[in-house]
């Protein structure tokens, strides 16, 4: 006979989310097999030297870690959040000294045959510490001190990851601003962020005179609307000055601050250049692979773009190409649908928490998974610049799979105990 506590544990775990997790891991495993298929070892279990066999080990170990997380006390995560954060900061510093350089990024620590990527686990530790801090007594994100401490928790690992340099993982942390927004941060921060991104893009696409003219028209209309409110009029006027100044700063930043390989990717994304043999090769081949799948796909292990390695990094950053080519539009919709359902489920779980720590942490998980999902799939179809980040649970890699497993199952553990929170 099971005890009541065991039955309670079993039924309180959100098994719908667990099912989605297992489905995505399985989809990833089969697509990795297709992406790096080796005719010398055609079976998915033929050799432990192939990426698909290694991924199977990562999946098994991740499931085991998920089970361990679910057996831990819920208070463990909040209590040890500073410890986890401190360990990952130490590892991020260590990787700058002894890290292995792969693809221009010094982001891995080699431990025998295993390569650890601290930046992946930094996302998990940052979510934990941010949730612990913001859930503290008398902490209000609208207060200057609280805001800067929360921003520092996010910014510190970003800075160390940028030094590797790993631009993709650095940008992931920016998504946590939506956690701050959920906890009371003024929407003006989001509006300003969107404004600067828009002006940056427009300044690259059009002449400065045209962009400044557009700014004057928009802000002129805003001033006319709020002219009777002196405070708001001054805010709009300040926004006008900052926006115009920003437009004139963009060329200098673009030429002297942003690195050449980043400029090449942005130019190709904005169609300022059209180099399908070099800078635009990856995205062009990715589009060909996805488009050739048509409605139902070419079939498992039958994708020509995939089998003949036309798309580089197809088991990691461009794994979605395999889905598009071999599973077609229908399979792509299923995968995207699973992600959207997972993210909505995470938000639902976050909102039903009684503990502020659990709620804030849940939103952190949702932000990070959504950012990875949107950017990774977006880069394969050319709607965002090429940024090297994995597709959660699907891309090849142990560090990535483990870190996303930690993120998700810690939330599920917190959720399973939500009724015990007073």
Q: Which range among 6-15, 106-115, 304-313, 320-329 has the greatest average pLDDT? A: 320-329
d(CA 397, CA 293) in angstroms, rounded, equals 25
pLDDT 10s digits, 65-105: 999 999 998 899 999 999 999 999 999 999 998 877 776 77
User: 357-412 pLDDT, tens per residue?
Assistant: 999 999 999 999 999 999 999 999 989 888 889 999 999 988 999 999 999 999 99
State the pLDDT at residue 421.
59
Write the pLDDT tens digit of every residue in 120-166: 999 999 999 999 999 988 888 989 999 999 999 999 999 999 998 88
User: How far is 409 from 42, CA to CA, in rounded Å?
Assistant: 33
d(CA 101, CA 106): 4
pLDDT at residue 4 in the model:
47
Query: pLDDT digits over 158-200, tens only?
Result: 999 999 888 889 999 999 999 999 999 989 889 889 999 999 9
DSSP 43: S
pLDDT at 420: 63
Q: Give residue 3's pLDDT.
A: 47
Helical residues (DSSP H) of 167-318, grouped into ranges: 167-172, 177-182, 187-205, 208-226, 230-256, 260-269, 281-292, 304-307
**Which residue(s) pair with 116 in the sheet?**
109
Q: How confident is the model over 198-223, as pLDDT tens digits?
A: 999 999 999 999 999 999 999 899 88
214-255 pLDDT, tens digit each: 999 998 998 888 888 888 888 888 889 999 999 999 999 998
Q: At what angle do helices 230-256 and 208-226 cross, to 10 degrees?
A: 160
Residues 6+ apart with CB under 8 A from 44: 29, 30, 33, 52, 53, 56
Band of residue 60 on the pLDDT scale cut at 50, 70, 90: very high
């Amino acid at each position: 006979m099971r005890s009541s506590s065991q039955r309670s544990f079993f039924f309180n775990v959100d098994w719908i989310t667990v099912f989605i997790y297992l489905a995505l891991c399985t989809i990833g495993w089969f697509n990795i097999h297709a992406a790096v298929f080796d005719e010398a070892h055609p079976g998915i279990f033929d050799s432990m030297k192939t990426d698909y066999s290694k991924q199977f080990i990562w999946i098994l170990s991740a499931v085991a870690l998920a089970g361990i997380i679910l057996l831990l006390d819920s208070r463990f995560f909040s209590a040890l959040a500073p410890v986890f954060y401190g360990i990952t900061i130490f590892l991020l510093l260590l990787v700058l000294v002894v890290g292995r350089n792969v693809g221009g990024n010094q982001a891995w620590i080699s431990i025998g045959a295993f390569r650890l990527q601290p930046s992946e686990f930094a996302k998990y530790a940052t979510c934990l510490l941010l949730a612990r801090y913001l859930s503290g007594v008398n902490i209000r994100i609208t207060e200057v001190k609280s805001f800067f401490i929360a921003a520092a928790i996010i910014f510190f690992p970003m800075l160390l990851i940028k030094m590797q340099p790993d631009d993709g993982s650095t940008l992931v942390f920016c998504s946590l601003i939506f956690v701050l927004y959920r906890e009371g941060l003024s929407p003006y921060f989001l509006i300003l962020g969107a404004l600067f991104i828009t002006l940056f893009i427009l300044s690259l696409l059009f002449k400065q005179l045209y962009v400044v003219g557009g700014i004057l028209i928009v802000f002129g209309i805003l001033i006319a609307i709020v002219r009777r409110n002196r405070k708001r009029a001054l805010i709009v006027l300040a926004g006008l000055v900052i926006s115009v100044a920003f437009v004139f700063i963009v060329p200098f930043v673009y030429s002297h601050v942003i690195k050449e390989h980043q400029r090449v990717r942005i130019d190709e994304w904005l169609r300022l250049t059209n180099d399908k043999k070099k800078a635009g090769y990856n995205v062009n081949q990715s589009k060909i692979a996805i488009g050739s799948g048509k409605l139902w796909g070419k079939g498992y292990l039958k994708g020509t773009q995939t089998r003949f390695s036309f798309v580089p990094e197809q088991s990691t950053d461009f794994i979605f190409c395999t889905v598009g080519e071999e599973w077609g539009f229908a399979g792509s919709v299923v995968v995207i649908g699973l992600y959207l359902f997972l993210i909505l489920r995470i938000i639902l779980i976050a909102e039903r928490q009684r503990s502020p720590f659990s709620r804030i942490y849940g939103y952190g998980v949702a932000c990070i998974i959504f950012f990875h999902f949107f950017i990774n799939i977006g880069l394969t179809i050319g709607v965002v610049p090429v940024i090297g980040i994995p597709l959660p649970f699907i891309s090849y890699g142990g560090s990535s799979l483990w870190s996303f497993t930690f993120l998700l199952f810690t939330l599920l553990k917190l959720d399973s105990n939500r009724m015990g929170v007073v």
